[in-house]
Amino acid sequence: MSFEIKEKDLLARIGRLKTKSGTIETPLLFPVVNPLIQPVPPRKIREEFGFEAIITNAYILKKRAYGKLTKNRLHEFLDFNGAVMTDSGAYQILVYGDVEVTPKEIVEFQEMIGSDIATILDIPTAWRVTEEYAKKTVNETLKRAKAFFKQKTRDDVLWVGPVQGGRYLDLVVKSAREMGKLPFEIHALGSPTEVMERYRFDVLVDMIMTAKMNLPIQKPLHLFGAGHPFMFALAVALGCDLFDSAAYALYAKEGRYMTEAGTSRLNELEYFPCSCPRCTRTNPKVVAEMNPNERQTFLAEHNLYVSAVEIRRIKQAIKDGRLWEHLQMQARAHPSLLQALKKLNKYKDFIEKHDVAAKNSGLFIFDSVDLMRPEVVRHKKRLEERYIPPKAQILLLAPQTRMKPFHKSMEFKQTAACLHDFKKYSDRVHICFYAAPFGVIPYELDEVYPLSQHETVLPLDDETVSYVADQVTRYISRINCKMVVLIDDPQNWGKTVMETVKKACLKENIRFRCMNVNKKEKEASTTRLDRILRET
């Protein structure tokens, strides 16, 4: 197998995965194709909608179309010249409790028909099962995975090793670690469908991250049954390179119209909020009057367009280094998605470790949710672990300004002017800025990415202000100074910082002064600041 990573952002990768039918680019959505009933022909899915690969069910093919399939004829049977992935029938086990095929038979069948990517017959962990039963699904899946390598005969098929355990995260850890030791080309997280149907995206975050953190990071990860495109960005940001969805067809059958932020019932629409080729040529009333098959095809094709557009939007966001911003916007589509985004705080250190240090664009800081972005986490770590503050008697804390870098702003130049001969204090004064979202920014680091390459929404929310105040007090406790001089913030959010710093200085037995430097009081400020510096 060859999996080449071209671009990275968060845990997301734009990569190239080589299959025997050609190279496919990740993140990649496999539309689910029902080999017996399909509203959109597979050929059209590739040629008109641009999907490089599809997924179909090997168990259904074996049971219903075995006589029509001969050796290496899968692509011809489906009329699809891209990559074809086959699932093993595990979903049927989840729904019906069992399948009429052995693990060895389904392996032999997938090799015979010529799948590009194939899956062993695992035992899925359902949502409403006891922990004891969940253990059995994990153990049986691992047993089958180990036996599989004595059964396979072809080396040109990429095989998927599924991770089970469901919401029992300790079992997911065990499953992922043991599965990760086996030489599967691709790994997959099984059993997420019921979690997503219940909109428990916060649980899904735990499941994906637990698997991701215990699997080989260099191998592609597949998410079975991803569903609606409004959660694709979340899955990709957490490191899912591949995922499949039948939602485009299932929703169409139910008369449901996908949008990037949710779904609508066709009979509730007066206008199509979409500019795809299907929607621009008609209106909801006309579509509602179509015969059922035509209506289902219309909706399925529209839903495919929405899914394809979201994948392209995510890829561009990765390339631009703006996947976090896109994830922030998508999370506002539903409260459960925002709840899931906030769950990333639990895994912020792992995400920061694998995120790239520099990106092609600056950051947009909207609210306290952005405090867990990798760039903010990284700055905090490096300031504590790598930065050695200068030996100075006085710590001068200046507020952030709209202009960046802060030290080139008129506001800071005004502060510097109050020091008269600024250079004579340079060996005694350590200058830092207190700023959202990074907390403390030393003067000499002011232009280092991304400390000056960001835009922050003002006024700040309370959580962000508290974070900045906490980071400033942590910094004060690290350095050995005799006095802290804080320049008050004209936006007034600095008052919280001032009160917090004042308490910290009292605790550390450090002298504290707060000043408000402005044009009207420039002469008084000059005299006062000079006096403070001379006295220290």
Which residues are bridge partners to 186 per DSSP?
A: 160
**9, 356 contact by CB (below 8 A):** yes
Per DSSP bridges, beta strands 22-26 and 28-33 are: unpaired
CA angle, 432 as apex, 427 and 436 as ends, to 5°?
Answer: 175
> HSE (CB half, 13 Å, CA atoms) of 451?
24
Q: What percent helix, strand, coil does the chain show, rounded to 5? A: 45, 20, 35
Structure tokens that stand for 233 in this block: 């960005």
- DSSP letter for 460, please: P
Q: What is the DSSP track for 19-67?
A: ETTEEEEESEEEEEE-SS--SS-HHHHHHTT--SEEEEEHHHHHHHSGG
What is the DSSP track for 308-370? HHHHHHHHHHHHHT-HHHHHHHHHTT-HHHHHHHHHGGGGHHHHHHHS-S--SS-EEE-SGGG
Torsion of CA 419, 421, 422, 428, to 10 degrees: -90
Nearest to 182 by CA among 215, 225, 226, 221: 215
* Cα distance between residue 222 and residue 434, in whole Å: 42
Angle between helices 169-180 and 131-148 (to 10 degrees): 10
- For residue 183, the tally of other CB atoms under 10 A from its CB is 8
Is there a contact between 247 and 31 (Cβ–Cβ < 8 Å)?
no
Cis peptide, bond prior to residue 450, ω within 30 of zero: yes
**Which residues in 34-140 belong to E strands, given as ranges?**
53-57, 83-87, 117-119
10 Å CB burial of residue 127 (0-12, 13-18, 19+) is middle
Q: Which amino acid is at 112?
A: M
Give how far the C-alpha of residue 355 lies from the chain's centroid of Cα atoms, to the nearest Å. Answer: 11
β-pairing verdict for 429-435 and 439-442: antiparallel
User: What is Dmax (Cα atoms) for the chain?
Assistant: 95
CA dist 505 and 484 (Å) reads 8
Question: ∠ CA 484-488-492 to the nearest 5 degrees?
Answer: 140
Report how far residue 242's alpha carbon sits from residue 162's, in angstroms, rounded to the nearest whole number. 13
Return the active site residues. Answer: 87
According to DSSP H, which parts of 149-228 are helical?
169-180, 193-197, 201-214
DSSP letter assigned to residue 458 = S
